[in-house]
Structures are given as C-alpha cells and as structure tokens.
Amino acid sequence: MSALARLNTTIDDDDRLSEADFKRISALIGREVGIKLPPAKRLMVEGRLRRRIRGLGLTSFSAYGDHLFRQGGLESELPYLINAVTTNKTDFFREPEHFELMEKMMVPNLLDARRNERMPLLKVWSAASSTGAEAYTAAMVLADICAQRRDFRFALLGTDISTDVLEQGRRAVYPADQIAPVPPTKQSRYLMFARQAGSRPEVRIVPELRRLVRFQRLNLMDDTYPFDRDVDIILLRNVLIYFEKPDQEAVINRLVSHLRPGGYLLLGHSESMIGTSVTMRQVAPAVFQKAGSVAQ
C-alpha cells in the first residue's frame, strides 16, 4: 500500500475490538511484560490502538486481529503493540519525599560506608523510567550534592519496555508545564528554555546532566538483567501494581540481586513488599535497604 493510501485509511469510530482478540492481546501482554489488562481496560486498549491500525493501512480491529494472530504479523508488531498499551505516567519530583531521603539519608550513608574509596561512583537505576523525568530528577539531586561535597561521582541508568518513551528520555525535551514541580534553583541550573516565538513552550535538560544518564530497553519479565550488580539505589515506583503477585516477587528478587549490600530499593507509596520472600529492612515508607555493609 502506498504512503498516500495509508494516509487516507480510516477506521470507523464505531468499530470495536472483538472479545476474543482482546483476550488474546491481554494474555499476550500479560505473558510478555507482566501487565494485567482486565476487561475494564478494553476501551483504553481500543483507543490506543486506533492510530496504530491506521498507520498499518488497516481499516478495522478485525483486520488488525487477523494481522496479529492469523497472518503471521505478531513478531514484527509486538514492540509497537507494547508501546501502545503500556502506561507511562511520570513526573518530575513525583513522591518528593523519596528525593529528600536520597539527599539527606541515602547518599550520605552510602558514601560514609565507602569513605576509604577515592571518588566512589554512585550508581542509580530508574527501572521503569518512562520518558526520563524520574532519572533526571535523581540526576538533579545528585548533581547538587556532588557540587557541595565534591567527593564522589555518579551515573544513572533508565530502563523501560517502551521504545517510544526511551527515545523521549534520550532527547530530554519536555513541555514547559511539566517542570512545575522542579524547584526554581534547579530549573535555573539544569534546564534550558526554548525561545522560539509561537511554538509550544519546551525545556531541555542541560548537556552536563544528559551525559550522565543512559537509557536502555529492558523487559522486567526477562529472567536476567544485563546490568551491574553493585547498584546503590534502584527506583521501581508505581509499576508493581500492574503485575500479578508471583511476577511482583520475581521482579523484586531480580532487582535486589543487582543492589550492592546496603543499597536501597524505592517502591511507589501505593506498593509494598509484604507477601514476598525478599528480606530487606524498611527504613522509610516504600524505602527498603539491602542487608550488609556497602564497604568494599
């Protein structure tokens, strides 16, 4: 189909995803990425898939179901399907108490335990980074601490299942209204404001911070994660609520195996590790510390 024909392709607003195809998509997403899509999510899934269906030059949900399950298109389409149905809610300084604890308790404790090292490298991992707001928030906090102490270095990793949001994180460009939670002093240090007349106001993270944050695709349902096992702080906030209990426990166990002794795991305030087999000390609401000394 030509590009012009694709542009002219429409899908009827009254068209609906069949119950059978929704169940197959729901089971597929649950199996591949651990996310629950109950029947109540059916309208949400339809809304998010309409644009993709038009992009493929298809005219109905039935044709999309045929493409996925009956015509061999599933393997090539899976990354786009995952991008479409995953939720990517994020904000700068979301749940700000965690970043206050990072500044006042976590980083000082971690550095104190490694005081015999010259310029230790602190590693922070945003394990469901979405568009990068969480990772860049942590980078701002660490950069401020580093400027005061000048006795450590830091690096951040952001991972997500969605390739779309990872690309946004790498670009580090955000609508100006999204940075309202960023304190004014940090805005002046770490954000660049676009000045084009008539354009939608946008900001970009300064290059000095962008160089310290790396983004990579990761499916939390994978059996192993190809990352370091001496991470100091891992953030996995507001993600486990979408997983079944056995998957929650498996993901937490895998992540904890990447923490150095004494490292911290941060969950969302609506989440808990109660009922899992992971043994960690809770040091604050939704903040857990791995047993052992961080000293090397």
| pLDDT tens sequence across 203-214 | 999 999 999 999
- Residue 291's Cβ-side half-sphere holds a number of Cα atoms within 13 Å equal to 3
Residue 187 CB neighbour total at 10 angstroms: 15
What is the C-alpha to C-alpha distance for residues 55 and 8, in angstroms, rounded to an integer? 10
Residue 83 CB neighbour total at 10 angstroms: 18
For residue 65, what are its two tokens?
């179901």
Chain segment 119-145, per-residue pLDDT in tens: 999 999 999 999 999 999 999 999 999
Q: What confidence category does residue 296 fall into, taking pLDDT thresholds of 50, 70 and 90?
A: very low
Q: Of the segments 105-119, 187-201, 237-251, which one has the largest average pLDDT value? A: 105-119
214 given a catalytic annotation = no
Average pLDDT over residues 248-252: 92
pLDDT at position 89, please?
Answer: 74
pLDDT at position 187, please?
Answer: 97
Catalytic residue among 24, 42, 48, 170: 48
Q: Token pair 């990447």 is at which residue?
A: 258
Q: Which residues of 194-231 are buried (b: 16+ CB within 10 A; e: fewer)?
A: eeeeeeeebbebbeebbebbebeebebbeeebebeeeb
Q: pTM for this structure?
A: 0.83
Q: CA torsion, points 88, 94, 98, 99, in degrees to nearest 10?
A: 110
Q: What backbone torsions phi and psi does residue 269 show, to the nearest 5 degrees?
A: -65, -20
Q: Token pair 């102490």 is at which residue?
A: 149
48 given a catalytic annotation = yes
Average pLDDT over residues 232-246: 89
Closest CA to 125 of 265, 13, 15, 11: 265
Burial category of 71 from C-beta neighbours within 10 Å (exposed 0-12, middle 13-18, buried 19 and up): exposed
Catalytic residue among 21, 50, 160, 260: 160
